[in-house]
Amino acid sequence: MTLGRNVLAGEKDRLNRFGLFALFLMCGLLIFVVPQLLQREIGVFYQICLAVVFFLSAMWLRSNERLHKYFQVFFAFFVASFTLFLQYIVEVLGWSSSTIDGIVFSKLLSTLLVVIPIVLLTKISGNDMASIYVKKGKLWLGLIVGLAAFLLFLVTSVQGATMIFAGQNITFERVIHWLLWILVWVLSNGLREELWFRELFLKKYESLLGAKTSNFLQAIIFSLAHVGVQYTPILLIFLVIVLFLGLACGFIMQKTDSLLGSALFHAGANIPTILGIFSNL
């Protein structure tokens, strides 16, 4: 009798986790994928409405004793949708995306419009910085893994840029000329996307889904969020690569309990991307 109850309880728990996984996946796609399918004006209105819906949902969950444990996840969805709306400011202001300095300046502004709201809203929600992996953690492990990966991506960046991002005429002299802009762009984007896609969500997912499932969930959303990119001619292969990179970043983050290692790993992975973009200007 007891065994039967345990089996039923286990099955119920698996169904509950599957339902939460599907719900969180849908919410992530609504935030990061659907806007790419909409015209800009409609997309802005959509993001405003989505942010309002997630905010009201989070406030309702916070006041509901039985469902309070879901508050932090839905507040994170609100933060993500709100910061995505802020990204439209970069586009509306119309800084040039056809020059290297314009691309880098836009990325810096975009990073600020992600990082600052996430930090402030995390504090407002009652969480500390550790909840989004802004902490020392296993500092040396993160630093060693992150720098090793960064250097590996660096030495293979020309081949990666040529094969995946249609890089053209990438010479040593051109790379040295771009070096400062490359470093600023990749480090900014590494911090921006690690906070946005992983640090904001991983601990909140883990409390409900477990570590491995949470990492898989964020990696799927992270990969599909790149479905609208135009800087690679092999989009499907690129999305598969991004999926595995997302899994690696999440794993590093969970093992080091800090953003440092995953941000450096991510920054290194972005070097071939920006080389390909710069070489085609």
pLDDT at 280: 93
Would you say residue 8 has pLDDT above 60? no
pLDDT of 94 > 90? The answer is no
Dihedral over alpha carbons 102, 119, 201, 262 (to 10 degrees): 60
- Euclidean distance between CA atoms 241 and 217, whole angstroms: 16
The residues spanned by each domain of the chain are 2-279
Percent of the chain with pLDDT over 70: 94
Average pLDDT on 230-238 reads 95
Q: Work out the pLDDT band at 204, boundaries 50, 70, 90.
A: very high
Contact in structure between 149 and 268 (CB atoms under 8 Å): yes
Q: Is the pLDDT of residue 92 over 80?
A: no
Q: Where does residue 99 fall: left (phi above 0), alpha (psi -120 to 50 degrees), or beta otherwise?
A: beta
CA distance 281 to 279: 6
What does pLDDT average to over the chain? Answer: 92
Q: Kindly tell me if the per-residue pLDDT of 98 is higher than 90.
A: no
| 83 closest CA partner among 168, 161, 196 | 196
Q: Tokens 């802005």 appear where?
A: 44
Q: What is the pLDDT of residue 40?
A: 77
Q: Is the pLDDT of residue 95 over 80?
A: no
